[in-house]
Amino acid sequence: MQLIIADKRYSSWSLRGWLAVRLAAVPCEEVMVRLFQPGTRARILQYSPAGKVPVLVTEHGTIADSLAIAEYLADHHPGLWPRDVAARAQARSACEQMHSGFMALRQAMPFDLRRDQALEPMPADVQADIERMLALWGECRALKTSDGPWLFGQLSLADAYFAPVAVRLRTYQVALPPEAAAYVETIYQWPAFQAWRQAGLEEV
- 100 within some domain: yes
Q: Are residues 72 and 156 both part of a single domain?
A: no
Identify the CA nearest to 2 among candidates 80, 41, 40, 59. Answer: 59
Judged by DSSP in three states, 64 sits in strand
**Quick count: other Cβ atoms within 10 Å of Cβ 204?**
4
User: How many domains are there within the chain?
Assistant: 2
Phi, psi angle pair for 64, to nearest 5°:
-100, 150
Same domain, 128 and 188: yes
Which residue, 78, 111, 143, sits at the end of a domain? 78
| Residue at which a domain ends, from 30, 48, 78 | 78
From first to last of its 204 residues, the chain has per-residue pLDDT tens of 999 999 999 999 999 999 999 999 999 999 999 999 999 999 999 998 888 999 999 999 999 999 999 999 999 999 999 999 999 999 999 999 999 999 999 999 999 999 999 999 999 999 999 999 999 999 999 999 889 999 999 999 999 999 999 999 999 999 999 999 999 999 999 999 999 999 999 998
Cα angle 6, 202, 149; round to 5: 80
CATH (domain of 164): 1.20.1050.10
Do 62 and 118 belong to one domain? no
Question: Are the beta carbons of 130 and 119 closer than 8 angstroms?
Answer: no
108 neighbors 128 (Cβ within 8 angstroms)? no
Rg of the chain over Cα atoms, rounded to whole angstroms, equals 16
Residues 61 and 107 in one domain: no
**Statement to judge: residues 107 and 163 lie in one domain:** yes
**CATH assignment at residue 31:** 3.40.30.10
pLDDT at 182: 98
- pTM for the structure as a whole: 0.95
In a domain, 203, yes or no: no
Structural domain containing residue 101: 85-193
- Where among 42, 58, 78 does a domain terminate? 78
Tell me the CA distances in angstroms from 90 to 69, 73, 83, 137, 170, one per residue in order.
18, 18, 11, 10, 25
